Amino acid sequence: MMQIINDLTPLNRVFCSSDYDKSIDYLCNILPFKIHSYTPDQEHNGWVIPPKWDVEEAKIMMDGKVIYDATEHPLRLISLSLPFEGRVSSEELKKHLHYDVRYEDAVPYHFRHLYRSWERDWGFCVPKTFYDSLKPGEYEIVIKTKESEGELKVLEYNKRGKLDETILFASHLDHPGMSNDDLAGCAVGVELFRELSKMETKFSYKLLLHQEIIGAEYYLAFLEPKFRDKLIEGMFLEMLGSNTQLGIQSAVQGMTDIEYYLKDVVVKHNIPHRKKQYGEIVVNGEYIFAGYGIPISSFSRYPYPEYHTDKDNPNIIYSASLIESLNLLLEAIKLMEKSPIVKKKFKGTICTSNPKYGLYVDPGQASFGWKDDEQEKKIRKLMELLPSINSPVNVERLSSSYSLDKNMVLDYLKKWELKALIDII
């Protein structure tokens, strides 16, 4: 995992670029990823694939001397900067310089042009100390870039299980020149799937490495519905290398099964963490998946001080953090795999009182008095829930949701299985 981070951090991994392609080639030598490619003619929902963009030269000079060489770090030139050569005043130059308001000495990440390639300018990202040090006078600017038609590329790796229903793990491969955001998530994801590939699993699993937001949108929009419909839930792996507290965040739609087990594992090991609802820790683009009906939770170590700056480098990555994240995920997956799941085989609603089925649970009626049996009332709720299940449901989650004994739930579900209405797997 550290090797991936060390090797890929220096690359200028903007959405469409030679360095992004190098990252893809590198990762394909570790796992046999499938590459999904999208071109600008595949316009979708107003999203625009930016041009392929590579930096050849980028510097600020005064009196013939280079005072700022932007090729020394990918963040120094704003992503998708327009080319420019000419002399400008210090006042004009400052209009094209961007610094981080949090730090005096950090170079920030300027990414807006990647999502708005129709609205571009030239510019540099600089430390505030550099910005403040500029003296009145003329400066020579040289920005040479190479552009061609962009091709958005998304990496997908599938681990087949006994079921077609698939658990998705996703990370961002973009964010040039940075380590924790989100090469750390990619590295953990790659190692997780190297381990999963050795296991026999009930569920199928998918690893998706993509450009933040736009990569997920294109992947889901152009994925065949028969495959997209099998994505039942997932988890973002984000910023997992820093020595900061773990955060588990629910999906837009609520808690996922993998989140449920991950939370239990973290609590079991007494690991300090935060458990929050969607958007209360970080937003990685989970709403893109939610737009296609796929609940995606997230697992991260956000916030961390170096976020979106050149300080986010391998020096802030801890092997122990990566390994801990990986082991927690593996343990959670193994627990989820062991628990029985319910897979519905019918459509509509079953008349459970019909003698053909004999599945009706009667806790009584308000007019004639409820039975003094709280467990039976909860089983009744379970009876009413089953017709609304649209994807495999974990029995342990069902039991926990209704505060019922798992064996009691299983006993009732087995009656449905005997009537060929569900499978318990």
**Residue-range definition of the domain harbouring residue 70:** 53-147
Please tell me whether residues 323 and 298 are part of one structural domain.
Answer: yes
Q: Tell me which of 104-108, 327-331, 361-365 is least confident.
A: 361-365
pLDDT at position 391, please?
A: 77
Phi, psi of 303 (to 5 degrees): -85, 160
* Residue 136, number of CB atoms within 10 A of its CB: 7
C-beta separation of 315 from 255 below 8 A: no
- pLDDT grade, residue 118 (50/70/90)? very high
Could you give the CA distance from residue 374 to residue 380 in angstroms, rounded to a whole number? Answer: 10
Please check whether residues 268 and 285 belong to one and the same domain: yes
**Are 289 and 396 part of one and the same domain?**
no
Mean pLDDT of 121-144: 97
Q: Last residue of a domain, which of 283, 315, 338?
A: 338
Which residue, chain included where needed, has tokens 């900061």?
244
Beta bridge partners of 159: 205
Nearest-angstrom CA–CA distance, 172 and 120: 23
Q: What is the pTM of this model?
A: 0.92
**Of the candidates 112, 147, 182, which is a domain's last residue?**
147
- Residue owning tokens 């790796």: 157
Average pLDDT for residues 243-267, to the nearest whole number?
Answer: 95
Contacts of 186 (CB under 8 A, 6+ apart): 4, 27, 171, 172, 173, 209, 237
Q: What are the Cα distances from residue 358, in Å, to 11, 281, 399, 402, 416? A: 64, 47, 22, 22, 9
CA–CA separation, 344 and 392 (whole Å) = 7
What sign has the CA pseudo-torsion 204, 260, 262, 284?
positive
Q: What percent of the chain clears pLDDT 70, i.e. is strictly above it?
A: 97
Residues 226 and 139 in one domain: no
Whether residues 166 and 128 fall in one domain: no
Question: Are 201 and 306 members of one domain?
Answer: yes
Q: Summarize pLDDT for 279-306 with one digit per residue, the tens.
A: 999 988 899 999 999 999 999 999 999 9
10 Å CB burial of residue 148 (0-12, 13-18, 19+) is exposed
**The predicted structure's pLDDT at residue 368:** 46
Q: Which residues contact 334 (CB under 8 A, 6 or more apart)?
A: none
> Is the domain of 219 the same as that of 302?
yes
What CATH number is associated with residue 180?
3.40.630.10
The CATH number covering residue 124 comes to 3.50.30.90
| pLDDT, greater one: 110 or 390 | 110
> Where a domain ends, among 147, 166, 184?
147
Nearest alpha-carbon partner for 343 in 298, 394, 277, 294? 394
Q: What is the mean pLDDT of residues 231-237?
A: 96
Element spanning 5, H or E: helix 2-8
Cα 352 to the center of its chain, rounded Å: 41
Which stretch, 216-220, 348-352, 376-380, 388-392, has highest mean pLDDT? 216-220
Work out how many domains the chain is built from and give that number. 3
Residue 423: burial class (beta carbons within 10 Å; 0-12, 13-18, 19+):
middle
The reply to whether 222 and 256 lie within a common domain is yes
Same domain for 57 and 37: no
Percentage with pLDDT > 90 across the chain: 85
Asked if residue 362 and residue 242 are part of one domain, the reply reads no
101, 135: one domain:
yes
- On whether both 178 and 225 belong to a single domain, the answer is yes
What's the token pair of residue 382?
């379970």
SS3 of 106, please?
A: coil
Average pLDDT over the chain reads 94
**Residue partners of 228: CB distance under 8 A and separation at least 6:** 220, 292, 294
